[in-house]
Amino acid sequence: MTSKRILITGAAGRLGTILRRSLAGQCELVRLSDIVPMEPAGAGEQIVSCDLADEAAVRGLCEGVDAVIHLGGLPYETGWSEMLRTNIGGTVNLYEGARHAGVERVIFASSNHATGMYPNDRTLSGESSPRPDSRYGLTKAFGEDVAALYAYKHGIRSLCLRIGSCLPKPDNRRALSTWLSQDDFVRLVQVGLTADYVHEIVYGVSRNTRSWWDNSAAHRLGYEPRDNAEDYAAEVESIELKTELARLYQGGNFVPEEFSSRKEWLG
């Protein structure tokens, strides 16, 4: 591994906990940061409590690391003020902190909800332009652009992961397309920590037979997913999302929430 000193934001969360486990003992330092408490530091770990909205604190947080895995933020739809403070402000603070600290690379947890308003019959790639399905999805599309600014202008390698549904196993029919196994998530992050790229947007998805995403850019970087949601098809195929809109668009349940278009813009 080239990155020896790593910062994980959102380290107390679902994905942060998976990464913490996988990186234990692998690096010179893993700095684990969140606003909520977590298990005490083990060997090679450091726990730093930090609100991503606190610009000065985030500056300090980024000091002395080679790579950042930016998972911290609100992973669901909520009002503008929280979104602006945490997801937009927090991501800007993080990249600005990384620039000041001379961080080499940032892996940004984007989301499939940046492109959630595409219908299910479209095959997307990291080059597909955003069609956010929510304020949440828009914050992720914004984060991808922040990543481009800091990559091309300031030389921070930036890998944006449009993560599908990272779960122990798929839990419904939609997830047969969107599932990212926890092991494949770790594999993808390992690629992000070592591969040669400037600014890339890829999908965080396993090798699902029914995937909606052409992830060849990730494969070119060296990502070799091993899990396939299809193995669980018999178990979950009959578990459908409840509304027609949710079934029609890639963003699933984020789509019908506050939906108010009188037209069908499918295409």
- Quick one: what does residue 15 bind among ligand NAI, ligand 15L, none, with the CB cut-off 5 to 8 Å set by partner type? ligand NAI
Interface residue with ligand 15L among 93, 165, 172, 182 (CB under 6 A) is 165
- The region that residue 252 occupies, defined by phi over 0 for left and psi between -120 and 50 for alpha, beta otherwise, is left
Please give the full DSSP string across 17-38, using - where no structure is assigned: HHHHHHHTTTSSEEEEEESS--
**232 tagged catalytic:** no
Interface residue with ligand 15L among 3, 158, 178, 228 (CB under 6 A) is 178
Listed residue (157, 165, 197) closest to 69, CA to CA: 157
Q: What is the distance between the alpha carbons of residues 16 and 70, in angstroms, rounded to a whole number?
A: 9
Distances (CA, A) of 199 to 41, 176, 214: 32, 28, 17
Q: What is the distance between the alpha carbons of residues 189 and 193, in angstroms, rounded to a whole number?
A: 6
Listed residue (198, 201, 170) closest to 184, CA to CA: 170
Interface residue with ligand 15L among 20, 99, 105, 113 (CB under 6 A) is 113
Shortest Cβ 63–ligand 15L spacing (Å): 29
Show contacts with ligand 15L in window 72-91 (CB under 6 A). 75
Catalytic residue among 136, 203, 223, 249: 136
The answer to whether residues 203 and 112 touch, using CB atoms and an 8 Å cutoff, is yes
Number of residues that bind ligand 15L (CB under 6 A): 7
Residue type at 196 in one-letter notation: D
Show contacts with ligand NAI in window 43-72 (CB under 6 A). 51-53, 71-72
Interface residue with ligand 15L among 3, 86, 91, 111 (CB under 6 A) is 111
Show contacts with ligand 15L in window 189-228 (CB under 6 A). none
Q: Is 172 in the site for ligand 15L (CB under 6 A)?
A: no
Binding-site ranges for ligand 15L (CB under 6 A) = 75, 111-113, 165, 178, 252
Binding-site ranges for ligand NAI (CB under 6 A) = 10, 12-16, 34-36, 51-53, 71-75, 86, 90, 109, 111, 163, 165-166
